[in-house]
Structure 1
Amino acid sequence: MDSATPLHRTPVTPELLRGALDVEEGPLGLVPCRLPAWARGFADPQLLSAQAQPAGVRLAFRTAATRIELTAHRTHMAFRGVAPRPAGRFELLVDGEPAGQVEAEGGTAVLIDAATGSVETDPGTTQTVRFDGLAAREKDVEIWLPHYERVELGELRADAPVEPLAGDRRPRWLHYGSSISQGSNATHPTGTWIARAALGAGLDLTNLGFSGAAMLDPFVARVLRERPADAISLEVGINLVNADVMRMRAFTSVLHGFLDTIREGHPTTPLLVVSSPYCAMHEDTPGPAALDFGDGAMRYRATGDPAEARAGRLTLRTIREETERIVAHRAGSDPHIFYLDGLALFGAADAEQHPPADNLHPGPEAHALMAERFAAQAFAAGGAFAGR
């Protein structure tokens, strides 16, 4: 087939999406959402923004096409006077193997002035994402969407018919966490540690990693309770510290409640609680975290007083200790709950070798390392997800 071959036009519908829990209608088409509508009604602006960034969301279909096009419009954020985050990427997988990437272009820019708090919106162009040169045979195709940009999807075009994939028989993995799980500073959608681990283990991932918004909200626990899952994991800690939202007395109760709610819908599903990977600025210093633009680059710093940890202000060290204690306590009556120390995924020595550029979020090399270590601990014999 060549470029003159007429293209079959297929509107993007929910049946083509994997990893999304809902959609919203936009002027161009559908916006994938990672929370259902009822839960979005409880969400604050940070969580609303994060859940509309389609980490782990992909179009999945079967086709013999050699050429595929997707109409898409991105919305991305930037701070005025600061180097922007690298553009997101659309990533193609064919029969589960990487087959190409296209950088996101144009779209709507949301410009934030950190000094004044003002926000400006700069509308941009809609993009046609194109993959060509594909083998002329029937194949399973996935297009993974940029994991840190809101994306509105219009029309799918291909030089052969497109059909939604039949029911996915892979085990379903439901994961909750922070920006570390959403994939901040990973360079492409399947480069996040959680996506790497899921693809390596052959699991159907739903990623509920929400940048800056993993606050153990009860309504998010209800979402987890109601979603089908063969394995569930929670990455807990960092946002509670860097937002300084509670003290230790509240954390203990809230984590128990979060786990109780999940267990109402998944009484025997393997449930792995993962504490935060290493973050030097918050290991012993409470939040809140503050942004620092001193040299034109965006970095974070902790502003709390380490002495106040004794009075219950949260640090990563104290949260890890309490999380491990809570899981051990519950394991006495729940043989299907497990704990994984985040330092086993990314520790102090790793941070020296791969220092986070912004003092907070692990970089691409760290994502690869975390995925490898998670797989070795969670999926190996005796691990929480062994046999999944």
Structure 2
Amino acid sequence: MDKPATRRIRLIAAMGLGFLFGWLAASPTAADLISRLDPNMAVRDPGGEWLWHDAAALRVEGKGWADTEKPWHRLPARANGVVRDPVWRLSTHSAGICAGFTTNARKIGARWTVSSDSLAMPHMPATGVSGLDLYVKINGAWHWLANGRPTAQTTQALLADNIPEGTHEYLLYLPLYNGVDKLEIGVPPEADIAPLPARPEGMEKPMVFYGTSITQGGCASRPGMAHTAILGRRLDRPVINLGFSGNGTMDPEIGALLAELDAAVYVIDCAANMTPEMITERAEPFLRALRGARPTTPIVLVECTAHQAGAFLPHARAGHLEKSAAVRAAYERLVADGFPGITLIAGEPLLGNDGEATVDGGHPTDLGFVRMADAFEPVLRDALKDHAK
């Protein structure tokens, strides 16, 4: 090929690459495009004047220990190096933690920084992984109001505006699968804001959940839709969420930490992360140690949820049935031996039988979490009622 032709090809290629890179730089993101097409999908800019308040100074629930390395961690600092490393890293996620406050503000904003720039997962949206969820009390019951949709590691967002006059009660849930380095709640300078009052005597003890990714909240669309959060609102109790994704394996070190908590009830839901052999080996020692430390606190033991492909694939159904059988056998041995105050929740009915309640066969959608809450609620009500006697 002659030199002029070669130069022309190089020039055309260079121009093409320049056009491509320029187009990419100027090209709107998917979020930009959908925001232009549908304004209701836009992430709203707070704008205006705000007075920012550290959420850690409000009524914080969902933390079992005050001596944490950072304000929104779930395990005490001394657990670092004691629990397995994956458990420790997952404990820095803020699952189950919430901040309660009252304010007469006509608008509410939030500004938060998450620990990881991985804001979402392929099967769980950023609103659940790294977002906030705001509830307001209406006629004595908690009702969803708004969520904070993260756009970067640090996000500032308007949560609600044109709020009716008066002082209202709010509950703000933190991210399920990310850590929080800083969280502030914004109100106009003229507005008052204060922590929610302390819970009445007898209602301050938490329900403590220990388990797997499902317990941690995978894959709720937003933090308030994890079944643990739903149950906290329904039963008007604080909740401590000790779900550790892929690592709910009845570790004795976690059992010792659970025993430090003065719980209203313990919910042990680990079967999905364990083999039947592990369950047979670990369940009874784990539960006996917990009962020894807390002789009268109710314990609810949960079988393995059913993998939704099991309706068609025999091997998928066999897996969860074997795990549930091991849990049930451990439960029956304990009861036969006079073990007090323990209840079993069957696993197979928890998600329903229509295959509509998960994102991947195992992790619940919001529908799945509502179904789980529906199944857990009567059992927990009975346990709490018996414990109060």
User: TM-score per shorter chain, which class?
Assistant: 0.7 to 0.9
Which residue of 1 is the match for residue 230 of structure 2?
196
Give me the whole-angstrom Cα distance separating, in 2, the residues matched to 1:84 and 1:239. Answer: 19
Calculate the TM-score normalised by the size of structure 2.
Answer: 0.74
Offset, 1:45: 4.3
Offset, 1:193: 1.9
Which residue of 1 is the match for residue 343 of structure 2?
338
SS in 1 for 2:383: coil
SS in 2 for 1:356: coil
Q: 1:84 to 1:181 in 2, by over 3 A?
A: closer
* Letter aligned with residue 322 of structure 1: A
Give me the whole-angstrom Cα distance separating, in 2, the residues matched to 1:4 and 1:151. Answer: 23
SS in 2 for 1:344: coil
SS in 1 for 2:171: strand
* Letter aligned with residue 372 of structure 1: D
Larger fraction in helix: 2
* Letter aligned with residue 33 of structure 1: H
Q: How many residues align?
A: 327
Q: 1:83 to 1:218 in 2, by over 3 A?
A: closer
* Letter aligned with residue 285 of structure 2: G
Give me the whole-angstrom Cα distance separating, in 2, the residues matched to 1:264 and 1:24. Answer: 25
Residue ranges of structure 1 left out of the alignment (5+ in a row): 109-124, 242-246, 286-300, 307-314
State whether structure 2 residue 304 is matched by structure 1 residue 318.
Answer: no
SS in 2 for 1:49: helix
Give the superposed CA RMSD: 3.2
Q: Deviation digits for residues 112-152 of structure 1, max 9, x if unmatched?
A: xxxxxxxxxxxxx4434533333332332211112222222
Q: 1:191 to 1:76 in 2, by over 3 A?
A: farther
* Letter aligned with residue 247 of structure 2: A
Which residue of 1 is the match for residue 164 of structure 2?
135
Task: Select which of 104, 108, 118 maps to 1:77.
Answer: 118
Which residue of 2 is the match for residue 145 of structure 1?
174
State whether structure 2 residue 300 is matched by structure 1 residue 258.
Answer: no
Which residue of 2 is the match for residue 51 of structure 1?
91
Which residue of 2 is the match for residue 21 of structure 1?
64
Q: Deviation digits for residues 264-293 of structure 1, max 9, x if unmatched?
A: 3321111110111101578975xxxxxxxx
Offset, 1:336: 0.7
State whether structure 2 residue 298 is matched by structure 1 residue 276.
Answer: no
* Letter aligned with residue 149 of structure 1: N
Q: 1:361 to 1:38 in 2, by over 3 A?
A: same
Residue ranges of structure 2 left out of the alignment (5+ in a row): 1-45
Q: Deviation digits for residues 275-334 of structure 1, max 9, x if unmatched?
A: 11101578975xxxxxxxxxxxxxxx99xxx8xxxxxxxx43222122212222222423
Task: Select which of 93, 100, 114 maps to 2:145.
Answer: 100
Give me the whole-angstrom Cα distance separating, in 2, the residues matched to 1:34 and 1:25. Answer: 7
Greater Cα offset, 200-209 or 42-51: 42-51
Give me the whole-angstrom Cα distance separating, in 2, the residues matched to 1:222 and 1:284. Answer: 38
Give me the whole-angstrom Cα distance separating, in 2, the residues matched to 1:24 and 1:335. Answer: 32
* Letter aligned with residue 60 of structure 2: L
Which residue of 2 is the match for residue 217 of structure 1?
251
SS in 2 for 1:32: coil
